[in-house]
Amino acid sequence: MNELSKQDRLRLMKFVCSFAWADLRIDDSERTMVRKMVRKLKLDNDEKRQVEEWLELPPSAEELDPAQIPDEHRALFLKTAREVIEVDGDVAPEEIENFELLAQLLA
């Protein structure tokens, strides 16, 4: 994750938050994971505020363009998306469907 640019770190968090919202709710374990990632990525205060906004209201579909994910980071985005949908121990069908769609788009 340290090799991500500032723009890609925020893009990753946008996707992570959208996957956390896939079942239409944010579980405490998902919220905790997102906040740990924010610290790990060393996001600045404006970026932290943006992520907190996404935890309250998911990013719109128009904001999520898998084509903007650099080839060298696609595996990381997929791995992280899988982690966030599994963290609450309850993987909803919508989460699986969204993950599979992202995987197809990044293939």
H-helix or E-strand containing 28?
helix 28-41
| Beta carbons of 38 and 51 less than 8 angstroms apart | yes
**pLDDT values of the chain reduced to their tens digit, one per residue, 107 residues:** 778 999 999 999 999 999 999 989 999 999 999 999 999 999 999 999 999 999 999 999 899 999 999 999 999 999 999 999 999 998 989 999 999 999 999 98
Burial class (CB in 10 A: 0-12, 13-18, 19+), 98: buried
For residue 12, the model assigns a pLDDT of 96
For residue 51, the model assigns a pLDDT of 97
Dihedral (Cα; 83, 8, 57, 59), 10-degree rounding = -100
For residue 1, the model assigns a pLDDT of 73
User: Does the reported pTM lie above 0.85?
Assistant: yes
